[in-house]
Structure 1
């Protein structure tokens, strides 16, 4: 619990809290109880700011029965509440007086209010969804079609669609403006809850006895509208869809399952880790890194230019005493020992020492991880290591391998940098083939080609690796593109039904 206040409505006759809502300004909380009591509280102080009572009710309170739901408008003008007995009431938010009342005629199950268009959706036991205009204080729409208990409803962000789910196994999409059903699908496991993303591109659903969240892709967001008259948008036909399986070891074919949905399972037992560690065929996994971390790799030049200092650093008048140190890739501070005159002379004029130093290529922790992963043919540890690096550090590690003086091809082919560039290409080929950390690997490949593209073009061995990477990448991307185009979606517009 973050807040320090405990809100207790009607302390004289305490009953369980059944509904609550927070005002659009965030200053007030409205709480409804099983006894029909509705009370408003200030969230900063936790003090009660009054209760909503209807004098026509037999007992003191807002409703004669349980409060099913409460909702506040966007301007703190009205409060909407629904009672189990089938009455929907509109209250003056500040004055707490009753403004209007609607009788549904049967028990009320759920209410959902859309603040931006002022429409209230009510779900009743008669399996009818009713829409009320809170501003005009009248019922404006009635949707019928479900044959079993309605479990959940939700509005789209723009308020033009209403989605509903039922225990009959169907998910229906209603067009609020056209006042009709535009799509419906049937699943083999009944839906208990649904939620549409603000961009209206992904729908999340939960199902009976399913420990997971199913994601459905809206095809209208990824493909052009079509004039083909089919099962979608007809308002009558219902498409049957089987839910996909979590495990790739089941007999059920998974090739078609990915045209329908993707499931995100919840791990409840450590014994399930062995199953989840086996990637489902043709499934692309993401790195789960923050978007800013891998996007910064792409825009690193822009970020450096933006953060570039306006003036060069100024030398202080009295500089402190510094001990000379040796730069190291590991970050450790190594102090440089004092050299004698002979050693300085040898270091300056000795060609043998110079060539020896050039041949001794320092291996950073980045290169050590890469070499050991390539030797073991297992890049998991290397991937975890580079995911922990900052974008600037990863950029520095890649630039340390840059070959600048590559005029002599024979000498360049013997340089150790070329070996590690080749190992990086092998790493990219492996990760793209396995379809792991897809967006993160794409960002690294782009940065890698930006730095080492010229070296890859000049070296034949690197060209072969790059060509293999291109072929594998094209094959994987074609599958992803085909997945988005052929994903079975819930909504598909006809040209004459678009807004």
Structure 2
């Protein structure tokens, strides 16, 4: 028998001798909540409040368990999360650990370790307690993938400390450097300084650290050496004013709250709590430009797909987020309805959306092109960190005092149709709670389902509108006969050379005779009925067209044809009698005039012309019938040319603008 206590120890007992066999001290770092033996196996599973499951096997001669498998997460709340590529997620927690997870494989998880002033091996060699070398927990992570195979590619900022540690995802361990400027150890007035912002250059060579004192330093990640300090005053200004020497090394007069590097890796952008945003040239450390706001800058986020920078500000009137174009150095968007304060913000991988999280448990999704609010999500606890993966499939969020990382799938990447519409700026989803009989609270978000929403058939009668059907419903219709011909087997089915050995036979007076299966009367009747129906060339669709006397009847016939399968549509068009062709083309003219189902009209017209081309080209026949058909075709040609000219003009303009945007040097 095994027992456990609140201290995380496991004790093994011998029931026959009624005595303790041994004790496993510190099996878990918190109280053990569950012990379970596998039926018929010497394998035990233990669960603990430290967010871990451990599997033990009792196969030793002494009867004591040894650890076999461990499955664990953060023992305390998660503080930061960042995607590294498409599937890897890096996170840090208040327990001091940095962990890596794989989104697609739950069992692929790795603990990179817990930051310490020295390594565990050195601590054991010097007989130093492990607890005394642990650093403060990580609260911010910056990742770069460019130099992952060469040297450290992760920066971690620790809570209320100066040191910034480097980590490597290739070796899944803590790196070799702890970055800090020597001024903080030599100047007593800077003893209470802390690192407040970090950034890694796109090339992966340089690390940038901002401090609460207003200093901004640049370090070489490979060597860990200090490169330069970004200062708002030059050496000549300091020589003219001796009082300015104390401010020589400072980039800002207040705490650094935001730091970012542009996509080219040539400029550094820093922001402070006093509302100043400064642009620096990384190569020389020269101050290029300064932007000011009356509000306090709290944090920032860069977009990897373009040159946009999101800056979260706070003031007496509330919080707001400004979108800045770092190339033009101007504000291009402003979102004021972001809640009381912004806890986290991030761009989508394609740069189309901006996500902001506030302290009231809401995450808002903004569409940058239209400046519209398109989604609001309500959570049980405030979100304090989020990150999109490179492909935009997943969003990772972490919440206050939560030990888990929540992975959300982007519905737009998987669903064929997602209803994206503008919401009121003051829109807030609510919780609807009800208490079932079992005593569990069930929460349902008051959100309208996308499946129940049906979009309008046509936004504007003057616009050409598609049907919205999948291309498989109409794209292959003109070439359906060719596709069926290609899908036929190369060789027909061969008859067996010999009859089967065992044949059903019945004994008779003369010997035996083979049983001849009697033909089922019902089966014979169904076969004759099917052959008779094939002789009736006019189908139900043709009859509907023949009886159509108004535009509404023609549109109803088109709707009937639209709801058929591809093979059924092909059959209906092939069985159209010659005298029905004018009404068929009149039906297409009516649909063209409504400017709806433009793609279906083109597919049906191309198929009909291909099937009945010999009938349309011949000159013989009833003069009145051919005159009517020619008149309808001329009208159809004029309508088609008119609508296609408008459609083609818009498409050419859009293609030209898109090509100009791609080739323009902005």
**Normalization by structure 2: what TM-score?**
0.35
- Structure number, greater radius of gyration: 2
**Normalization by structure 1: what TM-score?**
0.46
Write 1 or 2 for the structure with the bigger share of helix.
1
Query: Relative contact order (alpha carbons < 8 A, sep ≥ 6): 1 or 2 greater?
Result: 1
